[in-house]
Amino acid sequence: MSAVLLFVVCLAGMATATEFDDNSIVTMDIKQRQMIILKLLNHPMEPLMYKDLVEIGQNFKIEDNTESFTKPDVVKTFVKMMKVGVLPRGEIFTLHIDRQLKEVVTIFHMLYYAKDFTTFFKTACWMRLHLNEGMFAYALTVAVRHREDCRGIILPSPYEIYPYYFVRADVIQKAYLLKMKRGLLDLKLCDFYGIRKTDKDVYIIDENIYDKRVYFTDDDRYWPWLKMHNGQEFPVRFNNYVIARDTNLDIIRLCEEYERIIRDCIIRGFIEYNGMRLSLTKYEDMETLGKLIYGKTEKTGMDKTYIESYRYLLIVMKAALGLNTFTSDKYFVTPSILDHYQTALRDPVFYMLQKRIIDLVHLFKLRLPSYTKEDLYFPGVKIENVVVDKLITYFDDFLMDMTNAVTLTEEELKKARSDMIFMVRKRRLNHQPFKVTIDIASDKAVDCVVRIFLGPKKDHLNRLIDINNNRLNFVEVDSFLYKLNTGKNTIVRDSHDMHNLVKDRMMTRDLWKKIESMNDMKDLLRKDLRNYHTGFPTRLLLPKGHVGGLDMMFYICVTPLRLVDNVDMSILDTNRKDFMVDFRSSVLLDKMPLGFPLDRHIDIGNFFTPNMRFIDVRIYHKKMTCDMKTRWYRWVLKNYNMIDRTPVIADTYFVDTDLNMKVDRNLNLFDV
């Protein structure tokens, strides 16, 4: 009898081995939680492919688990919102629609205020089945970044979750054609259209080589060449675009009036708000100015005009471009390229609008006094020499996984994987590693802050730029704390070690395989994926150079450390195993403001001190040959005579006499 009972128990255990229960969810390690997040974000536009997650989502009732959330009112608000109606599945989601913004904030609160990972996991599975795909992906990624029990989880790259924001529509169309033809390729057409199949059955589609050139243009017009998953294209902005129209005159007036109020407050030196007077005369008042720009002012608990961050920037965007989201209904919208933060960085107008806001900060800084000799001078410290390696930029190939943009077949949904993998090859700016060597003489042992700036030397007419006109063009590429010893100190700073830089992200497909093959994921987080979440791309540390050299300047400044109050210096220990991310903004530990000492007007007579130095450098650009046999290789470079390639003294452009001599090769070759 006992043997039969044991056999029945074993069968029951085998039947539930692949299912999740509350006990198994509670005891999950970081590896299992990581795999769950990857599954929830895999092919978000498709039905959920994993049966165990589907069962959890179908069996979970949110209204019956109000006590499982730290704030039950959030659940009540969410249930009311669902009864009224939310953005349907398949529609376009954007944060710039107030209704959609409120909905996604409520969804985030549901995930964030879950008491434990079990409730969070079940709620996420339910949302994956019922809510809009874009809203769910956004709310889940933000919640994972903020929840303590999700610490250490690596999120997939945004361009792999939803490739439509990052891949041209014609490239996605080629992938669809390949999927419909089941990978049957015509070699001649593949060469012409830039399609290649690797030995591992991965299809690589070459993006238009013309994109390299478009990326570095500074034109007001913009044709994004992007299309959403529902077929809706991003609107095109042509040349001579008329900004002021009858439909947006009120918005333009509001924007101008709001901007005038902020400028008047800066010039007067104070803000009058609800009977209060907030000062704008000291550098500490930068916090007040920032809240005023973004629509939030508060003091002594009064906060009656709270507006989410970037709402003022949103008004400027809508006023400048007349976004047609105002005339859309509550669900169907036609967002512009500026309505999504994932795509806004592609548009030159985005940076013009950012510059317009920075001008307000610049006006505030102009009212502050210039730094004195005592503020800049570091007694007993002198920079004796600075040596910078040769700076070379180039374009290299970057393969991006765009499989999520191609619809899965019914058989693939059953297998929970795609039989065909699609990559798009992009041309991205990069630079060769370099080092900055700084020799500093000190008459005492002292802690200091080293700041390294990079900026232009000449204008477009090859004239030297005045330092006061040029100081805002300098970018702080590195800043770090250093302990000087008595005598000569040699600091060698590698370009990879400069603060707040991140390397290229690992493909989610490769991350998935690596996680499945290892037992302890913490070693992966501490070594390969340390400082993986946020930062400035190391590829963009240097601007694109010229073949003959682009004249630039490095500015190095060494100042004493003025440590802020109540700082735990143990955060600087890079060997701590309990930290998955290093503290990489050491300049924040110094009391001096960001951009110091170039953030204020410069008094030339007091500015130059022995503890700072300017050094001239040149950034060269190296041309790289494409290794994929696309039409540019087979049809152009096959009979290409390099002797007839005559250079012209104009940056990086060439006159190709060979292409002009033969009529049968009527092709344009862009080599930027």
Q: CA 298: distance to chain centroid? A: 30
Domain boundaries, the chain: 17-153, 377-390+432-500+535-620, 639-672
Question: 443 in helix, strand or coil?
Answer: coil
The number of beta carbons lying within 10 Å of the beta carbon of residue 12 is: 10
Pairing verdict, β 435-442 and 446-456: unpaired
Residue 633 has pLDDT above 90, yes or no: no
Question: Cα separation of 221 and 36, whole Å?
Answer: 43
Q: Which residues contact 524 (CB under 8 A, 6 or more apart)?
A: 514, 515, 518
Q: Which residues contact 45 (CB under 8 A, 6 or more apart)?
A: 133, 162, 229, 404, 407
Q: Where are the alpha helices (DSSP H) in 340-394?
A: 341-344, 348-366, 373-376
Residue 156 has pLDDT above 60, yes or no: yes
The DSSP symbol for 633 reads: I
Query: Which CATH number is associated with domain 17-153?
Result: 1.20.1370.10
Q: Which residues contact 611 (CB under 8 A, 6 or more apart)?
A: 376, 377, 378, 381, 382, 383, 557, 558, 559
The number of beta carbons lying within 10 Å of the beta carbon of residue 445 is: 11
Radius of gyration of the chain (CA): 29
* Contact (CB, 8 A) for 342 and 158: yes
Query: Which CATH number is associated with domain 377-390+432-500+535-620?
Result: 2.60.40.1520
Q: Is the model more confident about 320 or about 671? A: 320
Lowest mean pLDDT among 209-218, 278-287, 316-325, 471-480: 209-218
Average pLDDT over residues 540-545: 94
pLDDT in the model for residue 6 = 40
Over pLDDT 70: what percentage of the chain?
A: 75
Residue 473, CB-side half-sphere exposure with 13 Å CA sphere: 15
Lowest mean pLDDT among 84-98, 324-338, 607-621: 324-338
Question: Cα separation of 74 and 311, whole Å?
Answer: 24
Question: 374 in helix, strand or coil?
Answer: helix
What's the mean per-residue pLDDT of the chain? 79
> What does the block give as tokens for 471?
């100081």
pLDDT in the model for residue 663 = 35
pLDDT in the model for residue 195 = 84
* Contact (CB, 8 A) for 324 and 396: no
Judging by beta carbons within 10 Å of its beta carbon (0-12, 13-18, 19+), is residue 404 exposed, middle or buried? buried
pLDDT in the model for residue 206 = 85
Residue 23 has pLDDT above 90, yes or no: no
* Among 287, 267, 265, CA closest to 277: 265
Q: What does the pLDDT look like over 174-227, one tens digit per residue?
A: 999 888 888 777 777 777 778 888 878 888 888 865 555 555 444 556 788 888
Q: Which amino acid is at 490?
A: T
* Contact (CB, 8 A) for 499 and 538: no
Average pLDDT over residues 162-167: 93
Lowest mean pLDDT among 163-167, 192-196, 255-259, 640-644: 640-644
> What does the block give as tokens for 632?
């540019």
Q: What does the pLDDT look like over 140-150, one tens digit per residue?
A: 999 999 999 88
Q: Name residue 560's beta-bridge partners.
A: 448
* Among 475, 406, 487, 472, CA closest to 442: 487
Pairing verdict, β 435-442 and 391-401: unpaired
Q: Where are the alpha helices (DSSP H) in 433-560?
A: 467-470, 508-516, 522-526
* Contact (CB, 8 A) for 332 and 94: no
Lowest mean pLDDT among 81-90, 95-104, 120-129: 95-104
This prediction's pTM: 0.82
* Contact (CB, 8 A) for 46 and 161: no
Residue 632 has pLDDT above 70, yes or no: no
Tokens 């017009």, located at residue: 221
pLDDT in the model for residue 652 = 41
Average pLDDT over residues 632-651: 40
* Among 294, 410, 401, CA closest to 357: 294
Lowest mean pLDDT among 52-61, 230-239, 248-257, 635-644: 635-644
Q: What does the pLDDT look like over 547-596, one tens digit per residue?
A: 999 999 999 999 999 888 776 666 565 555 555 555 556 667 788 888 89
Average pLDDT over residues 266-282: 83
Residue 361, CB-side half-sphere exposure with 13 Å CA sphere: 19
Over pLDDT 90: what percentage of the chain?
A: 40
Q: Is the model more confident about 446 or about 283? A: 446
Q: Where are the alpha helices (DSSP H) in 269-381?
A: 286-293, 311-321, 341-344, 348-366, 373-376
Average pLDDT over residues 382-395: 95
Q: What does the pLDDT look like over 474-532, one tens digit per residue?
A: 999 999 889 999 999 999 999 988 888 888 888 889 888 888 887 766 666 666 666 66
Which CA distances in Å does 225 have to 163, 193, 406? 13, 17, 17
pLDDT in the model for residue 106 = 95
